[in-house]
Structure formats: structure tokens, C-alpha cells
DNA sequence: AGCTCTTCCTGAAAGC
DNA sequence: TGCTTTCAGGAAGAGC
């Protein structure tokens, strides 16, 4: 599932080959994942791709009008095509003559014989076109970039929240771009149990978490992301970071650090993988281990 | 404020 | 073997 490192890899690939290209046609299959398909199909042909950036897990394609003479100063350029890959979304750049993969629902035909195709088996993704004036609003809904937030601010915020640390890491209004894989991998590296309450963590632990988040994300970008199900980059290549996961989907396997079996429990409604020894469970006020729903999936059974 | 449950969707894998 | 059920998960919304 595409999280920050996967989206960053896709964005870098698109930036290399998409800048300056003009869009000549747009076609859609199913559109239930698109906010404004009519507007997109109408306004994109004749625009040029000016930039490709990432906002958390969103891909942001900046578009400008092509016509050099017609410069209506008051008009709404640039426009931004915003794309979220959801669980199974893929954005690939391919020649128009290539066969169409199943579940491909968006076609952006370019002026060089290629097209940008959006494929999404489960259609949990999202696509929308917004104007320059609404971009700040859109960005404002999102939290800080995890790779940019300073340790001080990170600690200050987490110390003010009573939620479980895993829930906060996943909350896109807090930090934008972290998903289940990198939340679990960061918590393992910081040696923190996912159900710990943020405000109960020490400064030292929060600093460790901040560092772990940034290291894990940077490493994952270096390895071009994790391909655990459908993720591929803009050229259709898989990432390699899944080979370096320490806990994610390793339940029942030995911890790399202490050999204890990795466990999986539900925290914040998400399956959470951790080492019970390296990441000790929080205790509630009666002193007993807080109970977390065990997930049946460990070992061989189910 | 923060938690859980539900919804969206499909394919893989478990279960019978 | 083959059909049916369950499950995964990002995000949003409901309800507690």
C-alpha cells in the first residue's frame, strides 16, 4: 500500500518524464473515486504539466495553460490534479499502444504518444482537480511533513495528546504520509509499543520516535518503497524495502533483535506488529497489562 | 477528546 | 474439488 516513500518514488519518476508534457486527451472508466471527473475531462486537454510534487500521500500535478499568447491574467492557472493511490492505486507512464491492465480507470494522453494511466483494483484511491486558490485549503487539512518536522515540535505535540501513539502516527492531520507499515516499523525502531499513550512518553522516547520515523522513511525512499501487494512505481517496478521490514507482517517470526516471536494485535483499528519484549506493553493504573485484542493470525492457525 | 464500528472495493486465502 | 466466507486496509463519518 502506497505510503510516503512509495508516493515519493512515484513522484520522482513522474517528475523525470512528465515535466513540460502537454495533455491532449483525458478518458475515464469508472469515476466513483473521482470528485469532479467532468471538470477534469473538460479542463485538462490543452494544459501542460508544470510540476509534480507530493503532499503526504497525495500526488500533486501542477498544470498550466498551453496557449502562450492567451494569458488571461485573472484566470485560474495553475490547476492541480491531486491523486491519492489508496490501497491499490498505480500511476504508470506507458505508451498508448500498450494493452490496458484490468481495473484501469483513468487515461491521460500525452503529446508524445504515451499516456499516464491510473489503475486501482479496489478504488480506495481518490482524484480531484482544484484551483490555485483552493490548494492552501487542501494542504491545510493535512499535518506536517514527517521528514520536515523538527524534533522539538514533534515532542511538544505528542506530549499534549492522550491518544495511542500508533493512532497519532496514522492520523494524517497530525503527520501526513505515514501509514500502517511505517508506523509499525518506526515504533519497533524506537522500541515503543503501539498502544502507548503519547503524553505518557518521556522526552527521550519521543526523540527516539522522531528519529526513527525520519530514518525509516528515508531508508524506505532509498529502497524505492515497499511492494507488499500491488505497489509499483511509475515505470511498473517494485520497491525493495519490504525485504527490510523488521516487524510488519512478520507475526510469528523471530524478532531481529531478541528472537522473541513478533506479535500482531489491533490498535487504533489497525493490525499492529511489534516485538513483545523490545516493545513492552503499557500498563493501566491497576498495574495489569492493558488488554488488546489479540489477532488470531499468528503462526499456522488462520 | 478519543475510541470503535461501518462503509467503500476486490482478490486471496481460509473454511467447510 | 469447489463454493462460501472472511479479511486486509486509508479515510471518512456515525455514535458512544
pLDDT band of A70, cuts 50, 70, 90? low
pLDDT tens profile A15-68: 999 999 999 999 999 999 999 999 999 999 999 999 999 999 999 999 998 765
Best CA proximity match to A114, nearest among A220, A32, A5, A234:
A234
Give the confidence band of A228 by pLDDT, cuts at 50, 70, 90: confident
Do A47 and A22 meet the contact criterion of CB atoms below 8 Å apart? yes
CB A271 within 7 Å, strand C: yes
User: Order of strands, edge to edge, in the sheet holding A114-120?
Assistant: A23-28, A104-110, A114-120, A89-95
Answer yes or no: A102 catalytic.
no
Mean pLDDT estimate for chain A: 89
Question: What span, in angstroms and rounded, lies between the C-alpha atoms of A197 and A174?
Answer: 15
Roughly what angle, to the nearest 10 degrees, separates helices A180-190 and A203-222? 130
Is the pLDDT at A102 greater than 60? The verdict is yes
* Strand nucleotide closest to residue A163 (CA to C1'): B2
Q: Which of A6, A37, A43, A57 is catalytic?
A: A57
Is strand C less than 7 A from the beta carbon of A138? no
Residue nearest C10, CA–C1′ metric:
A86
Q: What is the mean pLDDT of residues A217-244?
A: 88
Q: Is the CB of A1 under 7 A from strand C?
A: yes
Q: Is the pTM of this model over 0.85?
A: yes
For residue A146, what are the CA distances in angstroms to A180, A205, A290? 14, 17, 29
Q: What is the pLDDT of residue A300?
A: 30
The C1' atom of C11 and the CA atom of A99 lie apart, in whole Å, by 32
Distance A264 CA to C5 C1' (A): 22
Alpha-carbon torsion, ordered A81, A87, A90, A91, to 10 deg: 20
pLDDT at A73 over 60: no
Taking the C-alpha atoms of residue A133 and residue A79, their distance in angstroms, rounded to an integer, is 9
Amino acid at each position: 500500500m502506497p505510503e510516503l516513500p512509495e508516493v515519493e518514488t512515484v513522484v520522482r519518476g513522474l517528475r523525470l518524464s512528465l515535466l513540460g508534457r502537454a495533455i491532449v486527451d483525458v478518458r475515464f472508466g469508472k469515476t466513483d473515486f473521482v470528485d469532479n471527473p467532468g471538470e477534469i475531462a473538460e479542463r485538462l486537454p490543452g494544459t501542460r504539466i508544470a510540476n509534480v510534487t507530493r503532499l503526504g500521500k497525495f500526488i500533486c500535478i501542477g498544470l498550466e495553460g498551453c496557449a502562450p499568447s492567451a494569458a488571461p491574467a485573472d484566470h485560474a492557472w495553475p490547476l492541480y490534479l491531486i491523486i491519492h493511490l489508496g490501497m491499490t492505486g498505480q500511476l504508470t507512464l506507458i505508451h498508448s499502444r500498450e494493452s490496458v491492465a484490468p481495473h484501469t480507470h483513468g487515461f491521460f494522453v500525452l503529446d508524445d504518444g504515451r499516456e499516464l494511466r491510473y489503475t486501482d483494483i479496489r478504488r480506495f484511491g481518490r482524484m480531484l482537480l482544484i484551483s490555485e486558490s483552493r490548494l492552501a485549503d487542501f494542504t491545510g487539512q493535512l499535518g506536517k511533513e514527517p521528514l520536515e518536522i523538527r524534533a522539538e515540535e514533534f515532542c511538544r505535540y505528542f506530549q499534549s495528546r492522550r491518544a495511542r501513539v500508533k493512532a497519532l502516527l496514522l492520523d494524517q492531520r497530525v503527520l501526513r504520509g505515514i501509514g500502517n507499515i511505517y508506523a509499525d516499523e518506526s515504533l519497533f525502531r524506537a522500541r515503543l509499543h503501539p498502544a502507548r499513550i503519547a503524553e505518557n512518553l518521556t522526552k527521550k522516547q519521543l526523540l527516539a520516535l522522531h528519529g526513527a520515523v525520519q530514518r525509516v522513511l528515508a531508508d524506505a525512499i532509498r529502497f524505492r518503497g515497499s511492494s507488499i501487494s500491488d505497489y509499483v512505481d511509475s515505470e511498473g517496478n517494485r520497491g525493495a524495502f519490504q525485504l527490510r521490514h523488521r516487524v510488519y507482517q512478520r507475526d510469528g517470526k523471530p524478532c531481529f533483535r531478541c528472537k522473541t516471536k513478533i506479535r500482531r494485535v489491533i490498535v487504533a483499528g489497525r493490525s499492529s506488529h511489534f516485538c513483545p519484549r523490545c516493545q513492552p506493553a503499557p500498563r493501566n493504573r491497576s498495574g495489569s497489562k492493558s488488554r488488546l485484542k489479540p489477532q488470531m493470525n499468528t503462526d499456522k492457525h488462520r
